[in-house]
Amino acid sequence: MKLFSSVHDVTDIKQFVQDALDLKAAPHAHAELGRNKTLGLVFMNPSLRTRLSTQKAALNLGMTVIVMNMDKEGWALETQDGMIMNGTTVEHIREAAAVMGQYCDILGLRSFPKLQNKEEDYSEDFFNKFVKYCGVPVVSLESATRHPLQSFTDLITIRETWKGNGKPKVVLAWGPHVKALPQAVPNSFAEWMSKAQEEGLVDFTIAHPEGYELDGQFTQGAEIVHDLDAALHGADYVYVKNWSSYQDYGKVLPVSGNWMLDNQKLKQTNNAGVMHCLPVRRDLELAAEVLDGPNSLVIQEAGNRLWAAQAVLKKMLS
């Protein structure tokens, strides 16, 4: 594997989940695989889970890790070609990425969308140029439109915890927020769950207010409803996440009704496990009583980020 940027980079998701669970059972079974290899993690945006879980995953494989907080400590990067660089940008991504590739065997990159220009964000220009110019294998640590390590983790967590017969009903439920957030997490979750549905592993529904439709390329095969209560009925997993509008790009639109999952709403489910990628705003996006209650899977889910990252790095090193 030379690139991990979406579900399309994985040939067998069921087997990949099993690989991650095998690593969870024996974290140090491949402690020599990454000896004398260096992982570089490049952050254009903040992170807690992605940074620490990917570092730990690399350490478990015997790798050395170096981290660059490019947004705070790096030079301002230019991405456009053919520019006379007489403005605020100091170096071009052509040189910066190529140089980082000189020091690392594998690179990870976090590059959020700016949420100003849909075409620019959805072209994944920054991420793709980084991949092109660095010259080494790249792991997405969340790009403008996807967060594959998170979605892989989410599938691992569902497969690990599902004890019922048949397929679980999985609901992606939009939650309220005061800030405009990327569509990357829901896009990616939808893409992985649609694939899992194709393979008979889950039934997948998306619930969001009108105006919050995601780009159709990610939601193919999903049932999409605008009534949260109807979606929650019989749900085995509820995956809560806010996102800003894709159509009215990057906007926070007014919504009617209550879209925050609380214990009252949770009663309509099949005693569902509640998931969220974190960070979460309590009592805004998701009720504190749910986060603190017995149905919350969020800490186990965050813990599983380690095994997702380790499975990806192991595949790249092998």
Binding residues for ligand AN0 (CB under 6 A): 181-182, 184-185, 277, 279
Asked if residues 59 and 45 have their Cβ atoms less than 8 Å apart, the reply is no
DSSP-based three-state secondary structure for 87 = coil
275 binds, among ligand CP, ligand AN0, none (CB under 5 to 8 A by kind): none
- Residue 87: partners with Cβ closer than 8 Å, 6 or more residues away: none
Binding to ligand CP, residues 20-79 (CB under 6 A):
47-50
CB of 212 to ligand AN0, least distance (A): 14
In the set 33, 59, 255, 278, which binds ligand CP (CB under 6 A)?
A: 278
User: Residue 243's closest CA among 190, 288, 283, 204?
Assistant: 190
Please report, as residue ranges, which positions from 137 to 156 form the binding site for ligand CP (by CB under 6 A).
142, 150
CA neighbours closer than 13 Å in the CB half-sphere of residue 192: 32
Q: Which does 41 bind (CB under 5 to 8 A by kind): ligand CP, ligand AN0, none?
A: none
Identify the burial level of 38 via C-beta atoms within 10 angstroms of its C-beta, where 0-12 means exposed, 13-18 middle and 19 or more buried. middle
For β-strands 106-110 and 273-275, DSSP reports them as unpaired
Which CB atom, from 10 or from 41, has the smaller least distance to ligand CP?
41
Nearest distance from residue 56's CB to ligand CP, in Å?
Answer: 13
DSSP string covering 273-301, please?
Answer: EEE--S---BTTTB-HHHHTSTTB-HHHH
Nearest Cα neighbor of 131 from 98, 104, 156, 158 is: 98
Please report how close the Cβ of residue 111 comes to ligand CP at its closest, in angstroms. Answer: 13
Least Å from the CB of residue 279 to ligand CP: 6
Residue among 245 and 269 whose Cβ is closer to ligand AN0: 245
The burial of 151, by beta-carbon neighbours within 10 Å (0-12 exposed, 13-18 middle, 19 or more buried), is given as buried
Nearest-10 crossing angle of helices 184-198, 13-25: 110
Q: Name which of ligand CP, ligand AN0, none residue 156 binds, using a CB cut-off of 5 to 8 Å depending on partner kind.
A: none
**185 vs 261 by CB, closer to ligand AN0:** 185
Residue 167 C-beta: closest distance to ligand AN0, Å:
26
Contact partner, 48, from ligand CP, ligand AN0, none, Cβ < 5-8 Å per class: ligand CP
Which residue number, 44 or 232, has a Cβ lying nearer to ligand CP?
44
Q: How far is the CB of 36 from ligand AN0 (least distance, A)?
A: 31
Q: Which does 182 bind (CB under 5 to 8 A by kind): ligand AN0, ligand CP, none?
A: ligand AN0
Q: Which residue pairs, CB below 8 angstroms and at least 24 apart, start in 78-81?
A: 79/125, 79/126, 79/129
Q: What residue ranges bind ligand CP (CB under 6 A)? A: 47-50, 142, 150, 277-279
